[in-house]
Amino acid sequence: MKLYSTNRQSPTVGLREAVMTGLAPDGGLYMPERIPVIPAAFFNNISGMSVRDIAFVVADLMLGDEIDSAEIRQIVNDTFTFDIPLVKVEDNIYSLELFHGPTYAFKDVGARFLARIIGHYSSGSGKVKVLVATSGDSGGAVAAGFKDVPGVEVYILYPSGRLSRMQREQLDVAAGAVHPIEVLGTFDDCQRLVKEAFGDGELRSEFELTSANSINICRLLPQMFYFFHAYGVLAGREASGMRGRVVMSIPSGNLGNLTAGLLAWRMGLPVKRFVVANNVNDVTVDYLLTGKFIPRRAVRTVACAMDVGNPSNISRILDMFAGDHGPISRLVRGHSYSDDDILASMSLTYSADSYLLDPHGASALAALRDDIKEGETGIFLATAHPAKVAHTVCDATGVELKSPLRAAGTHRGQQHPRISVSYEALKKILTHTTNG
Ligand SMILES: *Cc1c(COP(=O)(O)O)cnc(C)c1O
């Protein structure tokens, strides 16, 4: 598998380099040079296959020339240690529940797969350090993802006082190789410190540094697997004539899920159309409607993981369609929702269908309801567990979710090293922790 940069100013690379550097040197995002097409016969048998079996077929097609099949099998088995049920919500509408992983959000899938690929490439070297800045949820997913991957040191920088109790507890995975670091500053300060580390030649001569952030191609690839899986489960339930009738709705922020869906479609997934749900940060929906992509400052909403004003994966999507708005806007439609709309969708779905949703899933369902036509079947991505935002669920539906979720961590309330916004302080930690 060769990968090129969407900016096309730096050379194509192999998977190892794309994974271990994240961003291309020219600032572009890596994309696979060749997207293999899955034989149509695969879709005739898909309804009997497990998510692991489907993931293996797709991953082996993409990565089989770089990683041997037995290892790919192991990596996908270790990634999917939880179910991804497809739940019927209404006639012709299904919820793909992606929130049964260790941190109760779909980001577990990408983080677990990426951790294992990095583990594969670093095995035995003892020199690989992964740095990531988090403003909330991705820190927990990365910590849980790397927990069982030996030999990789992971540093998670988070802004002091900005994480919820649960988000903080999710960092305490009690594994020697995951190091949360509390920074007395903002998320931007955390990101600046990470950038400084990447720019430190001395550090880089001693260790191989990489990032587990969301633009890494190996967080994206595994997200394709569950689009195939959803189609397979549906094909098993709705015996005939599924082909060409399925619409998939995606609650979108940085557009990772949409990009993965489009890659799956390129590989042959018979989806008729995708629907993007935005909150009021609707630069993507604006682009789909007008053909103009105009980034802007994000504002805070109830669906906060979608509060993105300049979605990074737009460059991958534009690249896939050679920048041509026509075909993109025929395949992908968009709808945007205010906080009130999102809460109304949560409330309606509970009263009409007795089904609880978090705000992200609720926006995707709203978009599906607004887009779907007679004769079509819709699947929306439920990206986070409703109990993660029990207060909001209670406000919208009156339901008090009793059982609080358990954090993946086992050592609650662990003390993390606390540093000021000083690269010297970070460097000290980076150079004084060894493989454990
Ligand atoms: C990250 C996230 C999203 C947005 O996904 P993208 O792939 O960035 O578009 C939606 N819902 C939840 C719960 C998330 O954590």
Q: Write the pLDDT tens digit of every residue in 21-53.
A: 888 999 999 999 999 999 989 998 899 899 999
> Confidence class of residue 411 from pLDDT cuts 50, 70 and 90?
low
Beta bridge partners of 370: none
pLDDT score at 436: 41
Distance CA(139)–CA(159), nearest Å, equals: 11
Cα-to-centroid distance, 432 and ligand 1 (Å): 34
Nearest-CA residue for atom 8 of ligand 1: 254
Tokens 């037995």, located at residue: 70
Average pLDDT over every residue of 230-248: 87
Cite the DSSP H helix spans in 334-436.
339-353, 359-371, 390-397, 423-432
* For residue 19, pLDDT beyond 90: yes
Residue-wise pLDDT for 194-219, tens only, equals 989 989 999 999 999 998 888 899 99
Cα-to-centroid distance, 330 and ligand 1 (Å): 23
Residue-wise pLDDT for 153-174, tens only, equals 999 999 998 888 888 888 987 6
Residue-wise pLDDT for 385-408, tens only, equals 999 899 999 999 999 987 556 655
Nearest-CA residue for atom 1 of ligand 1: 305
Nearest-CA residue for atom 15 of ligand 1: 305
Residues near ligand 1 (Cβ within 6 A) = 105, 107, 137, 251-257, 305-306, 360, 383-384
Ligand 1 pocket test target in 98, 106, 302, 365 with most atoms within 8 Å of CB: 106
Nearest atom in ligand 1 to 214's CA: 8
Residue-wise pLDDT for 53-97, tens only, equals 999 999 999 999 999 999 999 999 999 999 999 999 999 999 999
The DSSP 8-state label assigned to residue 105 in this structure reads B
DSSP E strand stretches across 46-185:
86-90, 93-97, 128-133, 153-159, 178-183
Cα-to-centroid distance, 392 and ligand 1 (Å): 18
Residue-wise pLDDT for 320-375, tens only, equals 999 999 999 999 999 999 999 999 999 999 999 999 999 999 999 999 999 999 99
Cα-to-centroid distance, 251 and ligand 1 (Å): 7
Q: Give Cα separations from 159 to 69, 214, 279, 347, 423 (angstroms).
A: 40, 18, 25, 33, 15
Higher pLDDT, 242 or 122: 122
Distance CA(412)–CA(395), nearest Å, equals: 29
SS3 348: helix
Average pLDDT over every residue of 178-204: 92
The tokens for 432 are: 């004084």
Q: Rounded to 5 degrees, what are φ and ψ at 131? A: -115, 135
Burial class (CB in 10 A: 0-12, 13-18, 19+), 436: exposed
Nearest atom in ligand 1 to 255's CA: 9
Q: Give Cα separations from 351 to 92, 95, 423 (angstroms).
A: 18, 16, 52
Cα-to-centroid distance, 194 and ligand 1 (Å): 22
Cα-to-centroid distance, 64 and ligand 1 (Å): 28
Q: Rounded to 5 degrees, what are φ and ψ at 105? A: -150, 160
Q: Give Cα separations from 386 to 47, 64, 99 (angstroms).
A: 28, 37, 9
Cα-to-centroid distance, 256 and ligand 1 (Å): 8
Distance CA(192)–CA(187), nearest Å, equals: 9
Share of the chain above pLDDT 90, in %: 79
pLDDT score at 157: 96
* For residue 10, pLDDT beyond 60: yes
> Confidence class of residue 410 from pLDDT cuts 50, 70 and 90?
low
Cα-to-centroid distance, 338 and ligand 1 (Å): 17
* For residue 127, pLDDT beyond 90: no
Instruction: With CA atoms as reference, report the closest residue to 2 among 61, 60, 62, 59.
Output: 62
Nearest atom in ligand 1 to 252's CA: 9
* For residue 242, pLDDT beyond 80: no
Nearest atom in ligand 1 to 383's CA: 13
Q: What is the pTM of this model?
A: 0.94
Ligand 1 pocket test target in 134, 306, 346 with most atoms within 8 Å of CB: 306
Cα-to-centroid distance, 254 and ligand 1 (Å): 7
pLDDT score at 179: 93
Distance CA(227)–CA(223), nearest Å, equals: 7
Cite the DSSP H helix spans in 267-355.
283-290, 314-320, 325-331, 339-353
Average pLDDT over every residue of 107-122: 95
Q: Rounded to 5 degrees, what are φ and ψ at 71? A: -70, -35
SS3 334: strand
Q: Give Cα separations from 141 to 171, 213, 399, 409 (angstroms).
A: 9, 11, 27, 11
User: What is the rounded average pLDDT for all residues in the chain?
Assistant: 92
pLDDT score at 409: 54
Q: Using an 8 Å Cβ cutoff, are 359 and 383 in contact?
A: no
Instruction: With CA atoms as reference, report the closest residue to 241 among 365, 89, 92, 52.
Output: 92
Ligand 1 pocket test target in 96, 248, 257, 283 with most atoms within 8 Å of CB: 257
Distance CA(75)–CA(211), nearest Å, equals: 19
Nearest atom in ligand 1 to 308's CA: 8
Tell me the CB-side half-sphere exposure of residue 209, using CA atoms within 13 A: 20
Q: Using an 8 Å Cβ cutoff, are 264 and 238 in contact?
A: no
Ligand 1 pocket test target in 142, 337, 383 with most atoms within 8 Å of CB: 383
